[in-house]
Chain A
């Protein structure tokens, strides 16, 4: 079966981001960008499904700026077969991304669609679920285990109290949680080979999708800083402070 994986180019998770002085957003000039960590897990899961003989083809798709081709090439180096970039200079909201992905799904007709559970920049945790609504497919969010058998996929999900397992009819959508797998690194020969794999570039217009949004970001601020704390010398001093100064125990 064909598997479609969505990946996003985001600021690297190790970067300590700074808010711009004019409060218009976060300063992303000259900041290291990478594939969103949850998307890496999604690519890895697709590659493992291919290695098990469950998946026959992996198509990786990204929606974003021209530079997102780097992340698509990374996914190709990890084992995806071909890539699609829906190029958009504007920063799009989850609903617009889900609509663009729906258009790609209509074109590609995958049986399984894997996304990360959330992007670490917007922290929205929406796109997979929205794509579920738009396609009418079932969704297995926050997956820590995925097993395809016949025309169903069994997904073990991380929920607040523990784990839950659901059975979904294919085609279905899965969003990955951290413990689904440990993503591999791309080897140098595979990075070289990935340069020759096909990468198709589309536009929202070509897909006939309007990307306007009802959301407007008025400002972006740094969170309130915590006032500097103190180091205590002993456990007795700590207990005394907690009882008499902070009054929390």
Chain B
């Protein structure tokens, strides 16, 4: 039994989500191979070969895979998948985009966002915005799975010495084309990988006021997140959204500032180790999940917090 893990990367750097996905593969057990599909992605292939527990790396280097368009990548993955018992990808927007297409090409069901491995065919996954945990068993010949990265501790990025093999694929399917992208730039840690996350909600009142959170975050070495209300109000860009429809985070410390704590937001952060809520409404639902709650005006509390840390 061998497992194929599809690497998350940007053609230059291997994404850390890959390390969590390899951890899920190790929990299943078996030989682990990593597939890197991209263009000019040799360095990513070399990085993948160093991951602890990986025995082989397949590199498909072709202009058609540069932006991992699912029309091009899915046939490549599906073709490779035929010699594996499991195909795993991280539940990033990328993994969610191409992997169901792979599953349908293989005519098997997909299991989305697993958070635990019970056995090689049985997995746990959250449903209903994390309000229930389902244990599902698959009898499919190839198990196609996306992995919620916060459910598995990353394996070491070094220590392995896998063989790297170049492979080819069908290339460009001619159905889609990459036009452009607008990436938000930030010097702070990546939201889904940060040890500490400071998030703001509607209570921040405007985008300008997020400077209080950035300042606190810089002192803590934290990433800054937001609730959907803050994103919809245009305070911050949408890639900062934490929740069922945004990013799922599970940091050591999550500080929710001016966030009421709607079900959809909790779905994205309630697995954090310690939750702190700062809100002037003492009835806010966020206090029901917070380990430490402070009722007060965030514009006084946040600067004082920064000063005292």
By a CB distance below 8 angstroms, the chain B residues around A161 are 181, 183-184, 239
A99 to B17, CA, bound (A): 31
Residue on B nearest A234 in the bound complex, by CB: B294
By a CB distance below 8 angstroms, the chain A residues around B280 are none
A128 to B70, CA, bound (A): 12
Would you call B1 an interface residue if the criterion is a C-beta within 8 Å of the partner chain's C-beta atoms?
A: no
Establish whether residues A217 and B93, one from each chain, have CB atoms under 8 Å apart when the complex forms. Answer: no
Complex interface bits, A58-72 against B, C-beta within 8 A gives 1, otherwise 0: 000000000000000
Establish whether residues A162 and B126, one from each chain, have CB atoms under 8 Å apart when the complex forms. Answer: no
Residue on A nearest B221 in the bound complex, by CB: A249
Partner of B96, one of A14, A120, A125, A132: A125
A95 to B138, CA, bound (A): 13
CB under 8 Å from chain A, chain B span 94-118? 94, 96-105, 107-113
| 16 interchain pairs, CB-CB under 8 A | A14-B263, A26-B131, A121-B127, A132-B101, A133-B102, A133-B105, A142-B93, A159-B93, A161-B239, A163-B181, A164-B67, A178-B228, A215-B140, A226-B275, A229-B289, A231-B295
By a CB distance below 8 angstroms, the chain B residues around A246 are 253, 273-274, 291-292
Contacts A95-B110, A126-B103, A231-B293: A222 and B132 contacting too (C-beta < 8 A)? yes
Supplied contacts A133-B101, A165-B179, A167-B176, 13 more A-B pairs, CB within 8 Å: A14-B263, A98-B104, A123-B129, A133-B104, A144-B238, A159-B239, A165-B181, A178-B245, A215-B138, A217-B137, A218-B137, A220-B127, A226-B291
Establish whether residues A160 and B294, one from each chain, have CB atoms under 8 Å apart when the complex forms. Answer: no
Establish whether residues B93 and A120, one from each chain, have CB atoms under 8 Å apart when the complex forms. Answer: no
Establish whether residues B308 and A121, one from each chain, have CB atoms under 8 Å apart when the complex forms. Answer: no
Partner of A220, one of B93, B99, B132: B132
CB under 8 Å from chain B, chain A span 138-175? 138-139, 141-142, 144, 154, 157-169
Establish whether residues B179 and A154, one from each chain, have CB atoms under 8 Å apart when the complex forms. Answer: yes
- Selected interface stretch from A1-9, A80-88, A188-196, A236-244: A236-244
By a CB distance below 8 angstroms, the chain A residues around B129 are 120, 123
Partner of A138, one of B108, B175, B291, B295: B175
Establish whether residues B196 and A249, one from each chain, have CB atoms under 8 Å apart when the complex forms. Answer: yes
Residue on B nearest A141 in the bound complex, by CB: B97
The count of A-to-B residue pairs whose CB atoms sit within 8 angstroms is 253
Chain B interface (Cβ within 8 Å of chain A)? 67, 69-71, 74, 92-94, 96-105, 107-113, 122, 126-140, 174-184, 192, 196, 220, 228, 231-232, 237-239, 244-245, 247, 252-253, 263-264, 270, 273-276, 282, 287, 289-296, 301, 304-305, 308-309
The 9 A-B residue pairs with the shortest CB-CB distance in the complex, in nearest-first order? A133-B104, A129-B100, A130-B104, A126-B100, A214-B140, A138-B175, A229-B291, A248-B253, A165-B179
Establish whether residues A179 and B232, one from each chain, have CB atoms under 8 Å apart when the complex forms. Answer: yes
Contacts A94-B100, A162-B237: A242 and B135 contacting too (C-beta < 8 A)? no
Establish whether residues A226 and B93, one from each chain, have CB atoms under 8 Å apart when the complex forms. Answer: no
Establish whether residues A214 and B135, one from each chain, have CB atoms under 8 Å apart when the complex forms. Answer: no
A200 to B113, CA, bound (A): 35
Would you call A17 an interface residue if the criterion is a C-beta within 8 Å of the partner chain's C-beta atoms?
A: yes
Establish whether residues A139 and B109, one from each chain, have CB atoms under 8 Å apart when the complex forms. Answer: no
A220 to B289, CA, bound (A): 21
A234 to B290, CA, bound (A): 16
Most chain B beta-carbon neighbours within 10 Å: one of A11, A133, A158: A133
Establish whether residues A160 and B93, one from each chain, have CB atoms under 8 Å apart when the complex forms. Answer: yes
Establish whether residues B239 and A123, one from each chain, have CB atoms under 8 Å apart when the complex forms. Answer: no
A132 to B69, CA, bound (A): 12
Establish whether residues B112 and A124, one from each chain, have CB atoms under 8 Å apart when the complex forms. Answer: yes
Establish whether residues B137 and A123, one from each chain, have CB atoms under 8 Å apart when the complex forms. Answer: no
Would you call A111 an interface residue if the criterion is a C-beta within 8 Å of the partner chain's C-beta atoms?
A: no
By a CB distance below 8 angstroms, the chain A residues around B105 are 133
Would you call A185 an interface residue if the criterion is a C-beta within 8 Å of the partner chain's C-beta atoms?
A: no
By a CB distance below 8 angstroms, the chain B residues around A118 are 245
Would you call A107 an interface residue if the criterion is a C-beta within 8 Å of the partner chain's C-beta atoms?
A: no
By a CB distance below 8 angstroms, the chain A residues around B264 are 13
A242 to B289, CA, bound (A): 16
Contacts A129-B104, A168-B175: A223 and B110 contacting too (C-beta < 8 A)? no
By a CB distance below 8 angstroms, the chain B residues around A242 are 253, 274, 276, 292
Partner of B71, one of A26, A138, A163: A138
By a CB distance below 8 angstroms, the chain B residues around A134 are 104
Complex interface bits, A26-38 against B, C-beta within 8 A gives 1, otherwise 0: 1000000000000
Most chain B beta-carbon neighbours within 10 Å: one of A26, A94, A179, A242: A242
A138 to B178, CA, bound (A): 12
Complex interface bits, A83-122 against B, C-beta within 8 A gives 1, otherwise 0: 0000000000111001000000000000000000110111
Establish whether residues A235 and B109, one from each chain, have CB atoms under 8 Å apart when the complex forms. Answer: no
